[in-house]
Copies of this chain bind each other. A is one copy, B any other.
Amino acid sequence: GAKEETAANEAKTGLSADEISNEAFKDLFPLQYDSYLKNEEMEDTKYSGSEKRSKFDHDKEPYLPILFNGYGFATEYNEDRGHIYALEDVREIARITDKSVGSCLTCKSTAVPHMIEEMGDDYWGGNFNEEIWPKAESMGHSPIGCSDCHDPETMDLRVTRPSFIKGMEAQGIDMSNPTKNDMRNYVCGQCHVEYYFAADNSEVTYPWDNGFKPEDMYEYYETVAKENGFNQDWIHNVSGTPILKAQHPDFETHMTGPHGEAGVTCSDCHMPYERADGKKKISSHHWQSPLKTMEQSCATCHSNRDLDELEERVMDIQETHMEALHKAEDVSITSHYYVNKMITSGVSENKIKAAQEHVRKGQWFWDIVAAESAAGFHNPQGAMDTLKMSSEESFAAIKLATEELVKKGVNIEELDKEIEKVKKAVYEEVDNFKKKDLATNDYFPAQQPK
């Protein structure tokens, strides 16, 4: 029972401060543990959900193998699913190669905080396959577990990833005394955020010095990150552009959206109180789409709304959003191929560079939106604004390219037709792993330095 522990401030679980196994919590907190086990369930919603499906599927984002060409994300990229699969999924993903670093484990395993403590900076850059994974296994880690968010002795919420604290403080946010409400965002903000690996030691770093908006983060990458030696995640194989890969900025998007600005937290929607054994209430530990639990997740606050209507409203927002995302991606694709053609047509280096600047920015702005997990719901206006900037940048590249290409006598109509061909080939290829190979061909030769 929980009753005994509520006694006083000194209440202790009796667990070791270093506990990292979920199973150790099972007997003390059977309800939360049971709830956690439900993360095994797999069920899809229209735009999200928990089935392990490829992002390249036709109803998702079928042109990603072009857009991420030359990077691991063009090889394999899946819809995310329950926390309980985090280890299995990071282990199996083809993006992990023999060169992958320890940092890739940072948001998957309960062993990480201890490894950082023990190894210091050597953790981040350690070889994933050779060193970091075997070590975490030997420590008996769990996939995203109780100890990631709770102090095992007191069950107080806590932040266990130092990168988060550094990132927040760099923006001038005082982290010394967070409220309970803050913590209900922060525990998620440890992982559901945009990050990059620092150039010197591969440390997981959050680009938040200038703010949480995509344009703030871009500004950071163009200044602070570059000064510290980080220029890109990879060189794009179609356009030769140095590209920034964006990752799951759920926290940043939420904080700048209508709910975040109103003080609503991730946990309010994704961990609503629920009746666990027909009697006791607990915070749901089944992190999933709140559209599956609208009664608990939304109705408490929006009790004056008909829930079906509210769901329809969410669907409206998401549909408008996804259509705009697909369009922005499409313009970005065109920009990549136009730049490819600039390169093969002998356009001057500095014009190519100028076009690539726009391609880079255009890609950043749609990718930071695509990488976000709520199909626009976490910030409908903000995400759309970002997509608009994306289209504008990609078009600026296309315009510049058009000028130079025509000067070189390139037939633009033919170019456009070749782009359609290549898109069709990628779309129709049934083997997801082969799609990326069809994004370049004789007409559009690969541009990545070998």
Residues of A within 8 A of B (CB): 258, 261-262, 305, 309, 313, 316-317, 320-321, 324, 327-328, 331, 376, 380-382, 384-385, 387-388, 391-392, 395-396, 398-399, 402-403, 406-407, 412
What residue of chain B has the Cβ atom nearest to residue A395's Cβ?
A: B395
- For A380, give its contact among B309, B328, B380 (CB under 8 Å): B380
Cα A406 to Cα B402 in complex, Å, equals 9
Q: Distance (Å) between the CB of A29 and the closest chain B CB? A: 32
What residue of chain B has the Cβ atom nearest to residue A384's Cβ?
A: B384
Q: Distance (Å) between the CB of A49 and the closest chain B CB? A: 22
What residue of chain B has the Cβ atom nearest to residue A330's Cβ?
A: B392
Q: Given the complex, which residues of B lie within 8 Å of A382, measured CB to CB?
A: 320
Would you list 18 pairs from A and B whose C-beta atoms are within 8 A, ordered by A residue?
Answer: A261-B309, A262-B309, A262-B313, A320-B382, A321-B381, A324-B388, A376-B381, A380-B380, A388-B388, A388-B391, A391-B392, A391-B395, A395-B395, A395-B398, A399-B399, A402-B403, A402-B406, A406-B407
Cα A385 to Cα B325 in complex, Å, equals 10
Q: In the complex the two chains form, is A313's CB within 8 Å of B388's CB? A: no
Q: Given the complex, which residues of B lie within 8 Å of A316, measured CB to CB?
A: 261
Cα A448 to Cα B388 in complex, Å, equals 31
Q: In the complex the two chains form, is B384's CB within 8 Å of A388's CB? A: yes
What residue of chain B has the Cβ atom nearest to residue A391's Cβ?
A: B392
Q: In the complex the two chains form, is A320's CB within 8 Å of B381's CB? A: yes
Q: In the complex the two chains form, is A385's CB within 8 Å of B261's CB? A: no
Q: In the complex the two chains form, is A392's CB within 8 Å of B320's CB? A: no
Q: In the complex the two chains form, is A320's CB within 8 Å of B406's CB? A: no
